[in-house]
Structure 1
Amino acid sequence: METRRSSIRSWGNQTLRSVDPKLYGIIEKEKQGQINGIELFASENYVRRAVMEALGSHLTNKYSNGIPGARYYGGNQYIDYEKLEERALAFCPKLLICGGSVYPRELDYARFRQIADKCGAVLMCDMAQISGLVAAKKGCEPRGSEIVLYQGNDVKEYDFEERINFAVFPSLQGGPHNNHIAALAVALKQVATPEYKAYMQQVKKNAQAFVSALLGRNYYKLLTGGTDNHMVLWDLRSLGFSGDNLDLNFAN
C-alpha cells in the first residue's frame, strides 16, 4: 500500500519538463520570444508576475458553482426510470441528457438509450463528474448511450459539430487562454499513463473505505446505501444537521 502511495505521489509531483518535454520547449520558446521581442497586440499585453502566480496557484484545484453569495452544489437521490420514460413520451424532447452532479451509483445507460429511441430524442451523456474514472476505464462508462455524433447502429452522423463549434466561437467565446489549453494537454497526456489508472483505482478504493467506515457507525446513513464511483452522499438529517450547517461548522 505504501509503495503504491509513494508511486502515485511521485507521479503527481513530476515537473512539466519531465512529463512533456515538447510542450515545455514550446512554452520556453514563447517565453524567450516575449522577453526578446515586442508585443503589439493590445489583447496580449504582458501580465505582472503576481498575476501569473495567481493563475498557477492552488486555486487551480477549486471550482465555484453559482454566483457569489449563492454557491450551490445540487445532488440527485434516486432515478425513477419509469417516470422518466413517462415524461419523455409526454413531452417528446429533442435532447435527453443523462448524468448528474452528485450521484454515487452507476446509471442504466442502456435504459436511457431505449427511452431516447422511444421518444425520438438525441441522447447526450453529461459525464463531467465521472470523466476521470471513465478515462481510466474504472467502471462507470456510459455504455449504451450515444454521445453527440452517432445514432444507434445506423452510424448516422448528426450535423451537430458545426453548430456546436459556432455556438462556442464566435457566439459565446472570444478566444481561449492558451495556458488553459496547454494545461489540458498535459492533463490528457497523463491520463493515458498506467500511473493515472492506478490513481483512479485508489480513488475508488478510498471511497469504498469511507463508506465502510461510515456504515460501521449505526447512526450514520448514506443515500443509496453506498457508492459505485468516487462520490458519497451522507445523510446528516438524523444527526440534526443539514449539509450547509456541517459545511459552515467544518469551515470554522
Structure 2
Amino acid sequence: MSGQVHTPLVPVNRVPYSGQDMLKDPVSTVDSEVFEIMKKEKSRQRRGLELIASENFTTKSVMDALGSSMCNKYSEGYPGARYYGGNEFIDQMELLCQRRALEVTTQSHSVACFETDSFEFDFKVFGLDPELWGVNVQSLSGSPANFAVYTALVEPNGRIMGLDLPDGGHLSHGSGFEILKRMLQRRSTKCSDCFRFFTPVRKVSATSMFFQSMPYKVDPKTGLIDYDRMEENAMLFRPKVLVAGVSCYARHLDYARFRKIADKCGAYLMADMAHISGLVAAGVIPSPFEYADVVTTTTHKSLRGPRGALIFFRKGVRSTNAKGDKVMYDLGDKIAAAVFPGLQGGPHNHTITGGLPLLLGIRYRVFDFEWTTAYFASFKFFYPS
C-alpha cells in the first residue's frame, strides 16, 4: 500500500533450540529471537525518559502476578456464578480485588500544586462505603470499560457528551470522522493517506458508531473548558451520559460544575480518571467520587499497575421523586451484564491478580507519593504561569 510506513524487522542470529523441555525452559532458551527483542525494548525503556502516563513503569510484584499460573484459568461469569468449574480461588481473588479497590485509603495532606500555592484534601481516596459504591474489576482495559458503561446506561443511538478530541478528549468519549480529520489537519499537512481509511460513513471508534455524540470544547482564548457553553449545549442535546474526563488537558476538572450540569439536563455523570487516578489515589488532586455516578479508570498509567480497568458505580438512593419516594440506583447489574456477557467473555485473571499489589501499596502508603508530588513541581517549573 503506497505511502504506508513499515517497521523493518532487524535480523538476528536464530539459535537452534538446545534446551531440555520447551514447556519449562525460559523464553531466552526457547526463542532467542523473541528474547533479543525483549532485551532491546527493556534497554530502550531504561535509557529513555518516559513522560506518557500510559507508559509508566510497573513493579516487580505486578509483573510476578502477570506471569503467574493465574493466566491459565478461564472463568466466565462472576464470583459464585461461573460457567466453569474450579473457580474457588479465582472467586477469592476477584472478591479481594473488589474489596481493596473500594477500601483504598490515604491520609489527607497538603501539597504544592501548579494552580495554587498549596492544596489541602480532607477526603479519603478511594475510601468508599461498600453500601454506597460497588466496583467491577473485569474490564480488559480503559476503552472497553467506558464502552461497557455506555452500553449499560445508554440505548443504541443514544446520546453521550464528552470533551472534543482535538481539545484534549479521548476517542472513547465519542469521536466521529470530522473530529479526527480536524485533529490530523492541525498536526500535519501531509495526512491525506490517513483519510483513505475514514469516510463520512465510517466512524473513528465504536463509541461514535453506536451512539450519538455532541462534544464540549475548550475556550480557544484560555485553553480552559468552557463550562457555560457546555451547559447550554447539554440542555439542547440532552445526553444520557455526561463524561468528565480528559486525555490531554492540564487543569483540574470542576466536578461540582459537571454535577450541576448533569442534574440540570438529566444525565448520568461519568468520570474517566484513567490518566490521573494515581494522583487521585495520592490525594494531590480533587477526587471525582463525591460527584460522579460512575467512575472509570485504568490500572496502569499513573497507578503503575497492570493494563486493566476498574468501573466504580454508585449504589443506594439516587434521588427523591415528586411524591417523596426514593429513586434507587440500579447500575451494578446493568454494568455487570454489559461487561459480561455483553462485551467480553472470561476476564484476564492474571491482570486482576496483578492489580492487588498496587492497591495494597496505596493502602499502606507504599505508593510513591514523592513521585506524585514531584510531578506537580516539574509541571510548575515548565509552566510557571
* TM-score bracket for the superposition, by shorter chain length: 0.5 to 0.7
Q: Does the residue aligned with 1:194 lie in a helix, a strand or coil?
A: coil
The answer to whether structure 1 residue 209 and structure 2 residue 378 are counterparts is yes
Q: Which protein has the bigger strand share?
A: 2
Contact 1:113/1:146, CA 8 A, preserved across alignment:
no
Over 3 Å counting, the alpha-carbon distance change for 1:127 and 1:156 in structure 2 is: farther
What is the Cα deviation at residue 193 of structure 1?
A: 1.9
Q: Which protein has the bigger helix share?
A: 1
Over 3 Å counting, the alpha-carbon distance change for 1:134 and 1:91 in structure 2 is: same
| Residue in structure 2 matching 1:98, options 219, 234, 244 | 244
Post-superposition CA distance 1:175-199 (Å, at most 9, x none)? 1122111101222122212121xx2
Whole-Å separation in 1 of the counterparts to 2:272 and 2:225: 15
Contact 2:71/2:349, CA 8 A, preserved across alignment:
no
- 2:314 is matched by which residue type in structure 1? L
| Residue in structure 2 matching 1:129, options 275, 297, 316 | 275
Q: Which residue of the partner structure matches residue 44 of structure 2?
A: none
Contact 2:142/2:274, CA 8 A, preserved across alignment:
no
Q: Which residue of the partner structure matches residue 291 of structure 2?
A: 144
Q: Aligned Cα RMSD in Å?
A: 3.7
Q: Percent identity?
A: 38
Post-superposition CA distance 1:12-55 (Å, at most 9, x none)? 86657xxx9xx8xxx67999xxxxxxxxx9xxxxxxxxxxxxxx
Q: Which structure has the higher relative contact order (CA within 8 Å, separation 6+)? A: 2
Contact 2:259/2:269, CA 8 A, preserved across alignment:
yes
Whole-Å separation in 2 of the counterparts to 1:123 and 1:130: 17
Q: Any gaps of 5 or more consecutive residues in structure 1?
A: 1-11, 32-40, 42-62, 66-71, 217-224, 226-252
The answer to whether structure 1 residue 87 and structure 2 residue 252 are counterparts is no
Post-superposition CA distance 1:127-174 (Å, at most 9, x none)? 111111212222231243333425666584322211211111112111
Contact 2:168/2:247, CA 8 A, preserved across alignment:
yes
Q: Any gaps of 5 or more consecutive residues in structure 2?
A: 1-57, 73-83, 85-140, 144-164, 170-222, 295-312, 321-325
Q: Which residue of the partner structure matches residue 242 of structure 1?
A: none
Contact 1:138/1:201, CA 8 A, preserved across alignment:
no
Q: Does the residue aligned with 2:347 lie in a helix, a strand or coil?
A: coil
